[in-house]
Amino acid sequence: MIDFIPGVSTTASALTAERIRMDVISQNIANANTTRTPSGQPYQRQQVTFETVLGQQDQADSASGSQPRLIKVARIQSDSRPPRMIYSPGHPDANAQGMVAMPDINTYEEMADLITSSRTYEANLAVIHTGRSMTMQTLAIGRRS
């Protein structure tokens, strides 16, 4: 199948990747105070890693110069930073010293990431809009304006 809109598969992969990133960020913010996960440990901040991949039909002719690259989420990994210890003896998850291990999630950091992610999403939407207008212009070739 021909891509009618130039670059649409690349942009679609970027929108999916940014969507996943936003999901992970909202999960981090939602769990900023979660002291117990199914494993019994406090919640660990999750982070996405992006990587580029060659599109399927591109792999065949990749010898003829550089090809547009798709993007995908390589993995979602836990941040290794240690939990914050907070003194709260009444807390059900407090240890013998009355300290509770809280996830070390900085809401400001997450919000900044969220804004970056949403700006990238918008930039990719702009590409789709422009690509669509270009296709309409191409279809109008030979018509009297």
Partner 1 sequence: MIDALFSQPDYVAAKKMLDATVLRQEAIASNLANLETPNYQRIDVAPSFSNELREAVANGDTEKINDLQPRLEVDANAVAANRDGNTVQLETELMNLQQNFLQHGVETNFITQDLLRLRSAIQGQPQ
Footprint on this chain of partner 1 (rule: CB under 8 A): 6-8, 10-11, 13-14, 17, 50-52, 64-71, 116, 119-120, 123-124, 126-127, 130-131, 133-134, 137-138, 140-145
Q: Which is nearer to partner 1, 32 or 134 (CB)?
A: 134
Least distance in angstroms from the C-beta of 129 to partner 1: 9
Alpha carbon distance 78, 47 (integer Å): 6
Least distance in angstroms from the C-beta of 141 to partner 1: 5
Q: Which is nearer to partner 1, 39 or 66 (CB)?
A: 66
Alpha carbon distance 7, 59 (integer Å): 16
Alpha carbon distance 12, 121 (integer Å): 10
Q: Which is nearer to partner 1, 55 or 99 (CB)?
A: 55
Q: Which is nearer to partner 1, 39 or 56 (CB)?
A: 56
Least distance in angstroms from the C-beta of 131 to partner 1: 6
Least distance in angstroms from the C-beta of 105 to partner 1: 20
